[in-house]
Amino acid sequence: MRRLFAVLLAVMFVWTLPAGRALGQAAGVKVIVNGVEVSLPAPAVFSGGQVMAPISGLFEPMGAIAAYYESDRSIVVSNRVRTTLRMRLGDPTLHVNGTARPLPIAPSLQGSQVYVPAQAVFSALGAWTKFEDADRTLYVSSQIRSLTTLVVADALQVRVDATGPVQVETNVLSSPDRLVVDFLHAALRTQERELSINGAGVTRIRTAQFQIKPYVSRMVFDLAQPVEVRVTTSTTSYLVTLEVRPKGQVTSTGGPPAEPRDPSQAAAAKIMGVKFEESGQAGRLVIEGTNTMEYKVREFVYPDRLAIDIQNAVFIPIKQEFAVDGPSIVSIRAAQFTADPPITRVVVILKRKMNYLVSQSDGRLRIEINAYTGRGHIVALDPGHGGRDPGAVGPTGLRESDAVLDIALRVRELLQRDGIRVVMVRETDATVELPDRPRLAREAGATIFVSLHANAHARTAVNGSETYYLTPQSLALAQMIQDELGIVLGIPSRGIKTANFVVLRDSGIPSVLVEAAFISHADDEAHLRDATFRQRIAQAIHKGINRFLAIYPSPVAP
């Protein structure tokens, strides 16, 4: 990027400082959000009935992002359902979508960290919180605020609306047939109740707070016949939809009733093996067995994965493990998890959260895995320079305009594989004027804008990657992309910075400018000539964009 346009703002941003993390955990209060212990950059402290905690990374397991703006000493926390919280250092007031309410303690600056009263802020996001003095831990969970059911044609739809991310575990049991759906780390805000359904193979649903510490909210579906269930997680809200329908088209009416069965005496099912059929963004996992299987599907995070536990089942191959390395799935492994009782466990390691549909027939368990895409988003990629303007030129003659075009095309390929729409500001060595770049993106309906550059410095010893942003809504995108670049490139991460670049001004959408490496640095230039390195840059940008799309609301309804 040419520095002519760079006017550094008097805006500074305080972000995660990994140093001191270990110290913080040893000395301070622990914070566990939706089952995940937050890595705090400095210790959280308990004072005046509140846990004061640094904002860095604090809200991410609740699906929210916090930012601090030194220019007006303000703190902004926002989530996927467009709750925006604003606070200011030294002022005990919280603005929730513009409405003021008092805070028990004002946010403050301690060293380089911004501290906020954690329970009050999490509560404003709709979360349940409790500080346990015994283990000096603040527990925070998403809450389920409503359950609505609807029978359409032969399917039962259950919409579960939560105040934050929830993990879903489905458990299909027989004798009698029932489906148990657990929402892990989710507190039930609605009253326990029982609903008559009498449709789609379901006679009734019972809901209850099944467990506390950690919270598990449970729905039990009493079934008139075997069913299959599809679990869909919305990309734009914290809505989980369960679709339950009779298995296949054949009903089990007629014939003698099934023998009641004592599970402890039933012969164990044999699992003959596991295979994966790739299709589209993901594919289908098939578990081959000899009997009808009782199974449980659970979602885990860090890394995202699905675990399928098959009860009373012996895994004949003993162990199976294979890499998929597809756009959405990393690998699959299957093994005997416990011998007594015999449980077979199959784990699918995902590249990110996915939707899934489980069905069973003819001794086979099928798990259809579907991409969880940034539907509704259109990503604009802007390879810098081009045509008359080659940008910076490296010591051995590599042109910035050529290197960044190649990287942008690779990012496009990766995003399109996820089903995300992409617009290119240029896809050839064309001249595009600077003010035209955001305008072209806007006209194409872009919802985020990513400009790609290679840096240059008069001091040729300077190298590494950095990402620029200008508007508050662009900060999280810059941070997420830069985090990924820092992890994979093996060159210094120079962090995120603000600059008044033309392409970052007033676009109205999250807009960032990535300086992937210094083309003026001999080694960085050599890296940029290497297709493997350019692919790594593209993968990091792709991953950062995907992380952002998972949190930032799509402007279009799904």
384 or 544, CB closer to Zn ion? 384
| 3-class secondary-structure state, position 120 | helix
Write down how long the chain is: 558
In one letter, which amino acid is 162? A
Where does this chain touch Zn ion (CB under 5 A) — which range of 52-60, 239-247, 377-385, 498-506?
A: 377-385
Q: Is the dihedral of CA 438, 443, 444, 445 positive or negative?
A: positive
Going by DSSP bridges, is the β-strand pair 313-315/269-279 parallel, antiparallel, or unpaired? Answer: parallel
233 or 463, CB closer to Zn ion? 463
Tokens of 324: 């998929």
Closest CB 401 distance from Zn ion, rounded Å: 8
Closest CB 446 distance from Zn ion, rounded Å: 20
Where does this chain touch Zn ion (CB under 5 A) — which range of 179-187, 356-364, 376-384, 466-474?
A: 376-384
Closest CB 1 distance from Zn ion, rounded Å: 4
205-234: contacts with Zn ion (CB under 5 A): none
Asked whether 31 and 118 are in contact (CB, 8 A), the reply is: yes
The C-alpha atoms of residue 478 and residue 466 are separated, in whole angstroms, by: 9
350 or 516, CB closer to Zn ion? 516
Closest CB 451 distance from Zn ion, rounded Å: 8
434-453: contacts with Zn ion (CB under 5 A): 453
Instruction: Report the residue from 164, 165, 384, 394 that binds Zn ion according to the rule CB under 5 A.
Output: 384
The C-alpha atoms of residue 406 and residue 357 are separated, in whole angstroms, by: 37
450-479: contacts with Zn ion (CB under 5 A): 453
Task: Give the phi and the psi of residue 315 in degrees, each rounded to 5.
Answer: -90, 105
Give the interface size with Zn ion as a residue count (CB under 5 A): 4
Instruction: Report the residue from 391, 464, 486, 544 that binds Zn ion according to the rule CB under 5 A.
Output: 391
The C-alpha atoms of residue 80 and residue 486 are separated, in whole angstroms, by: 26
Q: Find the catalytic residue in 400, 484, 515, 525.
A: 515
**Considering only CA atoms, which of 416, 411, 408, 323 is closest in space to residue 371?**
416
98-157: contacts with Zn ion (CB under 5 A): none
Place of tokens 């075009």: 405
Tokens of 468: 């620029």
For residue 549, give the H/E element and its range. helix 531-551
Where does this chain touch Zn ion (CB under 5 A) — which range of 123-131, 279-287, 334-342, 384-392?
A: 384-392
Where does this chain touch Zn ion (CB under 5 A) — which range of 129-137, 291-299, 379-387, 524-532?
A: 379-387
Tokens of 372: 């969880």
60 or 382, CB closer to Zn ion? 382
CB atoms within 10 A of CB 183: 24
Establish if 383 lies at the interface with Zn ion (CB under 5 A): no
- Sheet with strand 45-47: strands edge to edge: 45-47, 50-54, 113-117, 108-110
Closest CB 453 distance from Zn ion, rounded Å: 3
**Considering only CA atoms, which of 375, 322, 371, 310 is closest in space to residue 348?**
322
Closest CB 385 distance from Zn ion, rounded Å: 6
Closest CB 411 distance from Zn ion, rounded Å: 16
The yes-or-no answer on residue 515 being catalytic is yes
131 or 468, CB closer to Zn ion? 468
Give the nearest residue (CB) to Zn ion: 453
356 or 468, CB closer to Zn ion? 468
All residues at 6 or more sequence positions from 428 whose CB lies less than 8 Å from its CB, including other chains: 386, 405
Tokens of 380: 């604009």
Footprint on this chain of Zn ion (rule: CB under 5 A):
1, 384, 391, 453
Q: Tell me the catalytic residues.
A: 515
